[in-house]
Structure 1
Amino acid sequence: MTDTPPPLQPPAAAGAPSGALPAGRADYAGFLQQHLASQTFNVVRYELPGESVWLKKAGPAIAAWRYRTLGLLSRLLDVPVLQPVVNPGGRTAIATEVRRLRDLHARGLRVPMVLADAPDGFLMRHLGLPGGNTPSLSDEIEAAARQAPASTLVLWQQGFAALQRVHASGTCLSQAFARNMVRCPDGVIGYIDFEDDPLATLPPALCIVKDALCYAHSTALFLDNAGTLEAARVDWQAWLAQTEPAVRTALERTVQQMRWVGKLPNQRKLGRDTLRLRAMVGLLRPLP
């Protein structure tokens, strides 16, 4: 990633959507406006000479009632961190993501650079190499759990450290699952997907807790399968011991409320979602 966008040129012909650029001096804003009208899918990658870009356009609005069940569950279980962060979709989600990407970039965090934006969509630079695939951290950890189990802990630690860098900068992520983290070509962990803003709904401490739980939920089963869950648990407890009291209290309360999940049998017939929760509770439980 560079901070200054290179001159835009016509898209490469191989393997990517294409279209004529505006006459005269080509620019990202013109490319965005031209393709917003013709792009069928909400998110499409385009290959340009020397770089890859993503165009994300506004999708349909999301009805608020879809979040009521989770909100009710939060109140019934008395677990505030489960309170939903509403993503309204449409133009509001686009504006939120552009604002959050620029804010995170200004804090020195690795996110896709916004090249151009409009009410109905925006253009951002790919975090990986031009023309290349960039696996998510989730894909990396899952592959390591199958092929090189010992390396899962190192990958998990890198993602956990990247999450802590975000919190140290004074903000949070949005959906802090390992699938929304990628390793850039220089090895730095980057972050994607910011259609909602937890800080607009929740206190900062609960935003940190939500991030931590998302990361734990998306990685614990891989650690368990690789036999590295207990080692990661030591790292988790070390972080918990030094974090701010409000975060520690909220996390400990959440773990206490979910302790029954850890008593479920470790059986595939319960489904992958249940196994993920069971492994997460195992990762979060206190050391003896």
Structure 2
Amino acid sequence: MTQQPVDYAAYLARQLAVQQFNVASYRLGDEQVWVKKANTPHGMARYRVLGALATLFGLPVLIPVPNLGGHTAIATEVQRLRDLAARGLRVPTVLASQEDGFIMRHLGRPAEQTPSLGNEIEAAVPAGPEAVLRLWLQGLRAIELVHNQGTCLSQAFARNLVRCPDGVVGYIDFEDDPTAVLPLPLCHGRDALCYAHSTAIYLRQCGALEDARPLWAQWLQARGPALQEVMDQTMHRMRFARHLPQSRKLGRDVQRVRAAYDLLRP
């Protein structure tokens, strides 16, 4: 018996009317989908403060990219997912959308979780430097692939990179668009900083940080002068980080910043 095609738009409209959570997963026949609904709009006050601090310290790469929430965030994410898919990048397929939400296909197999690269890297720490470096390099190359397509991610933390069942790294979470606020080289620098901030601490924990530094330098050297200039200026402005403790004495976030600086410093 031939399965009838799913009317995704009608299904989306029904689920948005009753769905309690902002994001929820469902089974539709032999596929798994996610429905994302608009949340409460966000204010701009905190972004203005962060933007002023980034300007004060001469770090334009850290100028915040506003996520306004609500219908704006839905429209942004739908547009970004479709744009990235058109560039041949592995992102969830948007099946239908409306002003207050959209439905997308799961990147993995139905009923199976697609692990984030961040979780995989952390879990690989006990296995030693080789295992962690292999995963870390896979994420770095996945970011390179995005940059080579003339675009950027939204928040390139390792938690927003996922490993699909075929081993390809996919990308999720696109509620903001850095290219609407920053020139592309700064967007690429922002991606690099986000990835380093979310992974360098695990490189240090397994003893792989020093091995990763020349790999990062080779990656950056191949990216061209625009990104190199952004990173040189950023690391010069961030040289205060060399005085931060490597321990958790001042908290996990400070420890992450120090590890990222030690990874990326010239």
Tell me the TM-score range normalised by the shorter chain: over 0.9
Alignment of 1:176-191 (within 5 A): 176-191=156-171
Q: Which residue of the partner structure matches residue 36 of structure 2? A: 56
* Local SS of the residue matching 1:45: strand
* Alignment correspondent of 1:118: 98
Q: Is the 8 A contact 1:7 1:27 kept in 2?
A: no
Q: Where do 5+ consecutive residues of structure 1 fail to align?
A: 1-5, 9-24
Q: Distance in 1 between matches of 2:181 and 2:113?
A: 34
Aligned to 1:22: none
- TM-score scaled by structure 1? 0.89
Gaps of 5+ in 2: none
TM-superposed CA distance for 1:269, in Å, is 2.0
Identity percentage over the alignment? 58
Contact kept, 8 Å, 2:246 with 2:259, in 1: the verdict is no
Specify which of 235, 242, 249 is matched with residue 222 of structure 2.
242
Correspondences of 1:62-81 after superposition (within 5 Å): 62-81=42-61
Question: Displacement, 1:67?
Answer: 0.6
Measured in 2, the distance between the counterparts of 1:141 and 1:26 equals 37
Which residue, 119, 122, 131 being the options, matches 1:151? Answer: 131
Name which of 236, 252, 263 aligns with 2:232. 252
Work out the CA distance in 2 between the residues paired with 1:267 and 1:221. Answer: 10
What SS is found at the alignment partner of 2:97? strand
Aligned equivalent of 2:19: 39
Q: Which amino acid aligns with 1:250?
A: V
Partner of 2:260: 280
Shift of 1:148: 4.2
SS of match in other structure, 1:84: coil
Write the distance in 1 (CA, Å) between the matches of 2:231 and 2:66: 21
Question: What per-residue deviation string (whole Å, max 9, x for no partner) do you get for residues 192-211 of structure 1?
Answer: 00001101110011000001
SS in structure 2 of the partner of residue 239 of structure 1: helix
Contact in 2 for aligned 1:64/1:88 (Cα 8 Å): yes
Q: TM-score, normalised by structure 2?
A: 0.96
Deviates more, 1:48-57 or 1:142-151: 142-151
Q: Residues 248-278 of structure 1, C-alpha deviation per residue, up to 9 Å, x if partnerless? A: 1111111111112122222222111000000
1:96 aligns to 2:76 (yes or no): yes
Report the CA distance between 1:7 and its aligned residue.
Answer: 5.8
Superposition pairs for residues 221-240 of structure 1, below 5 Å?
221-240=201-220
Letter in 2 for 1:173: L
After TM superposition, list the pairs within 5 Å mapping 1:163-242 onto structure 2: 163-242=143-222
Match of 1:160 among 134, 140, 147: 140
Deviations, residues 207-235 of structure 1 (Å, cap 9, x unaligned): 00001110111100011101111121111
Task: Kindly indicate whether the alpha-carbon contact (under 8 Å) linking 2:94 and 2:104 is maintained by their aligned counterparts in 1.
Answer: yes
C-alpha separation in 1, matches of 2:264 and 2:75 = 35
Query: What secondary structure sits across from 1:202 in the alignment?
Result: coil
Secondary structure (helix, strand or coil) at the match of 1:130 reads coil
Q: CA deviation at 1:244?
A: 2.2
Count of paired positions? 265
CA gap of 1:254–1:266, structure 2 versus 1, over 3 A, is same
Q: Distance in 1 between matches of 2:230 and 2:137?
A: 22
Which whole-Å CA distance do the structure 2 matches of 1:207 and 1:271 have between them?
Answer: 27
Please report how far the alpha carbon of residue 240 of structure 1 lies from its aligned counterpart in structure 2 after TM superposition. 1.6
CA distance in 2, matches of 1:134, 1:7: 26
The offset of 1:179, in angstroms, is 0.2
